[in-house]
């Protein structure tokens, strides 16, 4: 959410920044609502002053025995009281309307974020690893002989419909091992605090991180008003919702392995085969809450944490910075990490790491007390996948595939699989 005072003081600058996110003349409606709201507040304050003055004069008129003046003043008090209530009600309604409008506007991009309209305008920052050269034509994960016994889309469709999967046996075990590797690495080596959080949240938590009100169609709401989290970003970031913490509390670095739920609204016809785009999936999510002066440094650190998992698994990847038109709603800058999938012969997203500045903190009123004792300030928040477990499974299976349909598994997973090193063509571990 945006600071109305900053918009009021420099609307041209706000409009220019918002235009980079594809929103034109954003300040005009905002400032009109703000002006009306402030006028109602001023009118209420004036009426309140008149009411207070008349209330004081009522007693004097009664003491003098001036019944006419006493009656006039009592009527004036009643009139001003009604006027105050009406003005306050109108101001409250305008304030809510202004808040609702500000809630729908995306975050402002940092100056170094490249201009662009879509993914074609994203800029590559680095590559790691060399895609393997196969002496056979690699296939996608779901076509591997060793995978088919443990990855059942037909059963999932019977149970739940499309975009679900049932994992079993060795494939389910590899999937679990990947999540354990990620959590252990982030906790033991990257200094994150392991956290277990609910997957059902109140709507105000979704408002806090920006999923509501604009993107309600992308998530699932229960009949009693709870929402299924699209990512643990919602719960981890909202840990500071409504808090004023001490500066030495920062930074806070959290990691959680959770189920995630997305309706995939707008993705009809995209990635319908395999596990790449599911309604229910698992993700290891990183969230950092930092001092404003440290958030950009933290963004690079978190990107490195996600990259490190892929490097440990020996999976080639590239890191890109998203352009203004491809960046998420709440982000000021985003690094996408794309892993190489030989079955598709391309790189596909496996992590997005975003710095949000104070955008989410304003929505959830998360602040800190400066060490020098100054006025409380909004914290900065960051989030990123570390990593999407299902997509990591896809990458491990496709990059390690052999001509007979078996899979050589990364060495980093062997301890989590009791020393097993391969997914055999019959679907067992060996």
**Rounded to an integer, what distance in angstroms lies between the CA atom of residue 380 and that of residue 332?**
11
Q: Tell me, yes or no, if 428 is annotated catalytic.
A: no
Q: What is the DSSP string of 92-128?
A: HHHHHHHHHHHHTSPPPPPTTSPP-SSGGG-EEEEEE
Please tell me whether residue 378 adopts helix, strand or coil conformation: strand
Identify the active-site residue in 8, 221, 349, 362.
349
Q: Is 204 a catalytic residue?
A: no
Helices assigned H by DSSP within 285-343:
295-313
Pick the catalytic residue: 277, 312, 318, 362? 277
How deeply is 136 buried, as exposed, middle or buried, from its count of CB atoms within 10 A (0-12, 13-18, 19+)?
Answer: exposed
Tell me which residue of 385, 329, 320 sits closest to 356, measured CA to CA: 329
Catalytic-role residue among 37, 332, 391, 422? 391
Residue 121 token pair: 């305008």
Name 252's Cβ contacts closer than 8 Å, sequence gap at least 6: 193, 239, 240, 288, 289, 290
Is there a catalytic annotation at residue 349? yes
Which runs of E-coded beta strand occur in 121-229?
123-128, 151-152, 166-167, 193-194, 200-201, 220-221, 227-228
CB 332 within 8 A of CB 352: no
> Any catalytic annotation for residue 262?
yes
Q: Of the listed 262, 332, 363, 367, which one is catalytic?
A: 262
CB burial of 244-282 (b: ≥16 within 10 Å; e: otherwise) equals ebebeebbbbbbbbbebbbbeeeeeeeeeebbbbbbbbb
What is the rounded distance in angstroms from the CA atom of residue 389 to the CA atom of residue 425?
A: 22
| 8 part of the active site | no
| Active site positions, annotated | 262, 277, 349, 352, 391
């Amino acid at each position: 959410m945006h600071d109305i005072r900053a918009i009021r003081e420099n609307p041209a600058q706000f409009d220019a920044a918002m235009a980079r996110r594809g929103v034109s003349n954003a300040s005009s409606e905002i400032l009109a609502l703000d002006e009306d709201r402030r006028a109602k507040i001023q009118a209420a304050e004036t009426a309140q002053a008149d009411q207070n003055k008349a209330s004081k004069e009522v007693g004097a008129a009664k003491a003098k025995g001036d019944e006419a003046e006493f009656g006039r003043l009592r009527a004036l008090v009643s009139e001003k009281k009604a006027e105050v209530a009406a003005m306050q009600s109108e101001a409250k309604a305008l304030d809510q309307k202004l808040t609702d409008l500000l809630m729908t506007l995306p975050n402002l991009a940092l100056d170094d974020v490249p201009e662009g309209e879509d993914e074609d305008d994203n800029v590559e920052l680095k590559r790691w690893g060399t895609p393997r050269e196969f002496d056979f034509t690699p296939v996608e994960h779901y076509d591997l002989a060793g995978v088919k016994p443990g990855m059942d889309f037909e059963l999932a469709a019977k149970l739940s419909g499309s975009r679900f999967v049932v994992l079993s046996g060795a494939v389910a075990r590899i999937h679990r091992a990947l999540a354990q590797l990620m959590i252990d690495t982030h906790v033991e080596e990257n200094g994150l605090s392991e956290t277990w959080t609910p997957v059902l949240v109140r709507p105000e938590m979704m408002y806090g991180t920006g999923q509501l009100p604009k993107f309600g169609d992308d998530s699932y709401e229960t009949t009693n008003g709870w929402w299924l989290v699209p990512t643990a970003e919602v719960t981890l970031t909202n840990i500071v919702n409504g808090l004023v913490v001490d500066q030495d509390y920062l930074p806070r670095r959290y990691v959680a392995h959770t189920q995630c739920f997305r309706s995939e609204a707008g993705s009809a016809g995209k990635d319908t085969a395999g596990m790449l785009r599911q309604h229910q999936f698992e993700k290891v999510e990183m969230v950092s809450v930092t001092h404003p002066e440290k958030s950009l440094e933290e963004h690079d650190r978190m990107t490195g944490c996600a990259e490190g998992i892929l490097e440990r698994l020996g999976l080639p990847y590239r890191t890109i910075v998203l352009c203004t038109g491809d960046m998420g709603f709440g982000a000021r800058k985003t690094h996408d990490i794309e892993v190489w999938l030989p079955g598709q012969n391309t790189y596909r997203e496996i992590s997005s790491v975003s710095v949000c500045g104070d955008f989410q903190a304003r929505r959830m009123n998360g602040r800190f007390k400066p060490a020098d004792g100054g006025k409380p300030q909004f914290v900065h928040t960051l989030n990123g996948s570390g990593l999407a477990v299902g997509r990591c499974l896809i990458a491990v299976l496709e990059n390690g595939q052999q001509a007979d349909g078996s899979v050589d598994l990364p060495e980093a997973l062997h301890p989590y699989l009791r020393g097993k090193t391969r997914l055999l063509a019959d679907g067992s571990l060996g």
